[in-house]
A and B are shown apart, each in its own frame.
Chain A
Amino acid sequence: MHELVAPGSLDAVLELLAAEPGVWTPIAGGTEIMVAHAAGRLNATKLVSLWGIRDLRFIQVATDSVSIGAGATFVDLRRHAELCEFWPLMARAASWIGSIANQSRATLGGNLVNGSPAADSSPALLVYDAEIELISVRGRRRIPYCEFHTGYKRNVLAQEELVYALHLPRRFSHHKQYLRKVGTRRAMAISKVALAGTALFNNGVNGEGVIGEIRLGAASLAAFPARLLKTEQTVLGRQITRETITAAREALLAEAAPIDDIRSTAEYRKRVAANLVEEFLLEVGGRGAKP
């Protein structure tokens, strides 16, 4: 039998987690936990509800950043005009989560703590250089989001900690932005592979522009969502030529470590990811092909 308590405030939840570390599992929108419960594989027997805690559900835009509370739902993200304008990949990722009925309940924090390698919001957070803020009774700490996940469904959260917010710097307006998810169908699909990219292309005087900045974030290419650092290094500072793209593809094929699972194969994931990187680079260079 499962016990579910709903103390109703952030402080009360943090006190409970501190009082009995490792005993209580937080449940936000429930779109993952309730599925496990229905399938009879929910091991956590004591749950503490985060739903309805206003201190966790916010989107605050400042001059140089946006802070998204862990309790913000994906509908919240999609409806926030400024977020959509300056961080469009977040809204796009939000529209991929399940269906509208799931988006109104699934939270950003829940998506990240669940920690699926296929998490829909992760690639965009990675390429936006997001910071993740963790909170406990002892206070708060921020780390780069790319350091949050440490292994398959493992992260740096201490037993008494919760994810509090994600902070995204406002500096990507002039970047080329890219996000593509490959799933089993157009909607309600767990990602087979997804790629996010932000890049600054410095147009040279004689058309010999180079990549000034590039970030690539991927889902389902490793045990957790991660930046493709080696692939980024291969193209940083270079022009976009046939050679660069070939080098990027090869770097990705070497860097990516996807698996075969019930949804797809490692070979397929690698090759499609390479195709997506190529698609992104062509767009960055201004030679994107239109279907």
Chain B
Amino acid sequence: MLVNGETCTVHVPPMKRLLDVLREDLRLTGAKEGCGEGECGSCSVRIDGELVNSCLIPVVQAEGAAIQTVEGLATNGVLHPLQECFLACGGAQCGICTPGMLMAAAQLIERNPHPSIAEIREGLAGNLCRCTGFMRIFESVLAAATQTRNPEAGRTDHAR
């Protein structure tokens, strides 16, 4: 598999969940297990650009695919606009839903650079957050979408 741009080879049973392969074999613990049944979205990653719940994917079905996890969102130590805006707008509280939420939000604004709140609600409906009540998350995503459309507002090097 290609994970966050790097080729990885693992020798695991074909039925092993992609979530467990990421966390145990590749030590990428960003994706979390919240429910094990594809309901909470905290295990969300992107496979070939499509948002998926990695707790429901037998790893053999991800063979040869390009996978992005939250660890691959910042580039060269520079935070993604979503990460910056979540920080500024309070989009993360306890942080457990955040990796999955960021993956869902990244897909949303990539495909829809000018999302309405209704579209953000739909795009994030599969990511449960128990802390925020979602308002700060909507604001974070709107701010990130704006920032992405106007990239001249500089980026900050936070990811030391």
Interface residues in chain A, defined as those with a beta carbon under 8 Å from any beta carbon in chain B: 2-6, 27, 29-31, 34-35, 37-39, 47, 49, 51-52, 75, 98-102, 104-105, 186-188
Once A75-B50, A99-B41 are accepted as A-B contacts, the answer to whether A34 and B125 lie under 8 Å apart by CB is no
On whether the beta carbons of A47 and B125 are closer than 8 Å, the reply is: no
B-chain residues with CB within 8 Å of residue A4 when the two chains form the complex: 13-15, 58, 60
> Which A residues touch B14, using CB under 8 A?
4-6, 49
Q: A34-B58, A35-B56, A188-B125 are in contact. List 4 more A-B contacts (CB 8 A).
A: A6-B63, A37-B15, A100-B107, A102-B126
Interface residues of B in 1-29 (CB under 8 A from A): 13-15, 17
Judge if B157 is at the interface, Cβ distance under 8 Å. Answer: no
User: How far does the alpha carbon of A108 sit from the alpha carbon of B37 in the complex, in Å?
Assistant: 19
B-side contacts of A98, CB under 8 Å: 38-39, 126
Q: Closest B-chain residue to A186, C-beta based?
A: B125
Q: What's the Cα separation between A29 and B52 when bound, in Å? A: 10
Q: How far is the CA of A104 from the CA of B51 in the complex (A)?
A: 7
| A35 close to B37 (CB less than 8 A) | yes
B97 at the interface (CB under 8 A from A): no
* Whole-angstrom CA separation of A101 from B39 in the bound complex: 10
A99-B126, A101-B126 are known contacts. Are A34 and B55 too (CB-CB below 8 A)? Answer: yes
Nearest neighbor of B36 in chain A, beta-carbon distance: A38
Residues of B contacting A27 in the complex (Cβ-Cβ under 8 angstroms):
58
Interface size class for chain B?
A: 20 to 34
Per the bound structure, the CA–CA distance linking A5 and B13 in Å amounts to 10
B61 touches A30 (CB 8 A): yes
In the complex with contacts A6-B60, A105-B56, A187-B122, A47-B38 CB distance below 8 A: no
Residue pair A187, B126 in contact (C-beta under 8 Å): yes
Say yes or no: A51 contacts B61, CB within 8 Å.
yes
A34 to B60, CA, bound (A): 13
Give chain B residues whose Cβ lies under 8 Å from the Cβ of A52.
61
A29, A34, A101, A188: which has the most chain B beta carbons within 10 Å? A101
B53: Cβ under 8 A from any A Cβ: yes
A104's closest neighbor in chain B, by CB?
Answer: B50
Residues of B near any A CB (own CB < 8 A)? 13-15, 17, 36-39, 41, 44, 50-53, 55-58, 60-61, 63, 104, 107, 122-123, 125-127
Q: Are A188 and B44 in contact (CB under 8 A)?
A: no
Q: Are B127 and A49 in contact (CB under 8 A)?
A: no
Interface pair A2/B53, CB less than 8 Å apart: no
Contact between chains at A99 and B125 (CB < 8 Å)? yes
Q: How far is the CA of A188 from the CA of B37 in the complex (A)?
A: 12
CA gap between A4 and B57 in the complex, in Å: 12
- Contact between chains at A102 and B58 (CB < 8 Å): no
List B contacts of A39 (CB < 8 A).
36-37
User: In chain A, what residue has the closest Cβ to B47?
Assistant: A104
Whether A188 contacts B61 by the Cβ 8 Å rule is no
Listed by A's residue number, 30 A-B pairs whose Cβ atoms lie within 8 Å are: A3-B15, A4-B13, A5-B14, A6-B14, A6-B61, A27-B58, A30-B56, A31-B38, A31-B53, A34-B17, A35-B36, A35-B38, A38-B36, A49-B14, A98-B38, A99-B41, A99-B53, A99-B126, A99-B127, A100-B107, A101-B41, A101-B51, A101-B52, A102-B38, A102-B53, A102-B126, A105-B52, A105-B57, A186-B125, A187-B125
A248 to B14 Cα, complex, angstroms: 52
Q: Which single member of A3, A34, A187 contacts B56 (CB below 8 Å)?
A: A34
Q: Inside 8 A of B61's CB, which chain A residues have their CB?
A: 6, 30, 49, 51-52
A100 touches B60 (CB 8 A): no
**Cβ-closest chain B residue relative to A3:** B15
Which A residues touch B44, using CB under 8 A?
A: 101
Nearest-CB distance from A72 to chain B (Å)? 14
Contact B126 A30 (CB under 8 A): no
Closest 3 CB pairs of A and B: A99-B126, A187-B125, A38-B36
Chain A residues within an 8 Å CB radius of B55: 34, 38
Contact call B126/A188, Cβ cutoff below 8 A = yes
Q: Give A26 Cβ to nearest chain B Cβ, in Å.
A: 13
Could you tell me the distance between the alpha carbons of A102 and B63 in the complex, rounded to whole angstroms? 19
